[in-house]
Structure 1
């Protein structure tokens, strides 16, 4: 359920912000237009927002600046410490996409950036099913993450990265649980959401899902 990556998150905590802002490392296309991506997610959010994988708090900062009520969930102790230093008043709890405390507030929006791929497709479906029960009327899910357009695109991207000599990025793409738009469409539709997708850079798509009326 993504917790197998906690050691990676802990190690990455010190250099994460440098990685996302750099124009020269092998992840530069993954994080291309990073600030704009955070803005898009925040602009689609409303009310009380539950953020999964707060990391160092970059999306959190944008959400707070838009006067949204944010609850953070983060499995990495090091990342939680960094976010707590940055936002002392923020409620950040130990948890992940599948395991988190109960909340007293009604959740209006569930958000995440660069993290949902840490779940297998089976776990993704379990998460979305749980979120349908958690969200209030007109609730929505707004994620931004690396997704493959289809299986052929997956092969093309892997070959491109291999030819670029980006060994770390290729390792991530081969070992983490990146999925396709088709799989996500089926998961959201099956669990009572109207979902749409918008490409934000070569790798990242905006996933916008609205809970259907029941």
Structure 2
């Protein structure tokens, strides 16, 4: 369910914005074009949005600024506390994860997340997508930006390149979490009832747009 990574989320919380701003050399490639990634998610989203893993609230801020109605989910207490500093005082952030979360009380036409979905195993991803299909309105869609790879060889090369560069924390992240292949993601979305497209945003991150 991704909650096995709660300790990692807590450790990342205070430094996360430093990473996304490109101030840590190890993660510059991972977060290259970060603001454009967020902008693309916002542009492709409808009016009512369920956001998983809001982290420190960066995408949430963009969505709210664009007039979206957002139902935010974040399992990490530390991340929720940091996000509250950026968001309106009366904005409620719900404790939940990618599979177990409070259900929105209003219709949802878009489900979004950034740098989150890889915390589920392949079988958990498939199960979650089937659930999301039923959470969405008839013409709803999913917009995910996440790390994934075109082949097993590309995944292994990313780990090796990180180690050669001395980016051992990045290499450890890549080994520990469940980064999928694009072919696996395409199959999961199609089995759940979506048509899906992929657009590469940097060397690690792809933008996924899936329509019911």
Instruction: Establish whether TM, by shorter chain, passes 0.5.
Output: yes
Q: How big is the shift at 1:24?
A: 4.4
d(CA) in 1 for partners of 2:85, 2:23: 27
Cα deviation code 1:1-28 (max 9, x no counterpart): 1101112212221111011112442011
Kindly indicate whether residue 161 of structure 2 is the aligned counterpart of residue 177 of structure 1.
no
TM norm structure 2: 0.96
2:149–2:179 contact (8 Å) kept in structure 1: yes
d(CA) in 1 for partners of 2:194, 2:150: 19
1:194–1:209 contact (8 Å) kept in structure 2: yes
d(CA) in 1 for partners of 2:190, 2:24: 39
Moved more, 1-10 or 196-205: 1-10
d(CA) in 1 for partners of 2:7, 2:95: 15
- Where has structure 1 moved over 3 Å in runs of 4 or more? none
Alignment of 1:32-51 (within 5 A): 32-51=32-51
Moved more, 195-204 or 89-98: 89-98
DSSP-derived class of the 2:94 partner: strand
Runs of 5+ in structure 1 lacking a partner? none
Q: Residue 168 of structure 1 corresponds to which residue in structure 2? A: 169
Q: Residue 60 of structure 2 corresponds to which residue in structure 1? A: 60
d(CA) in 2 for partners of 1:150, 1:138: 31
Q: Residue 205 of structure 1 corresponds to which residue in structure 2? A: 206
TM norm structure 1: 0.95
Q: Residue 18 of structure 1 corresponds to which residue in structure 2? A: 18
d(CA) in 1 for partners of 2:33, 2:7: 27
d(CA) in 2 for partners of 1:53, 1:70: 12
Moved more, 156-165 or 202-211: 156-165
Q: Number of aligned pairs?
A: 211
Cα deviation code 1:153-180 (max 9, x no counterpart): 1122222222212111000001100000
Alignment of 1:35-184 (within 5 A): 35-87=35-87, 88-184=89-185
d(CA) in 2 for partners of 1:89, 1:63: 16
Q: How big is the shift at 1:61?
A: 0.7
Cα deviation code 1:40-86 (max 9, x no counterpart): 11111011100000011000011111110011000001111222232
Cα deviation code 1:116-174 (max 9, x no counterpart): 11111111111101000100111000000000111121122222222212111000001
2:112–2:143 contact (8 Å) kept in structure 1: yes
DSSP-derived class of the 1:26 partner: helix
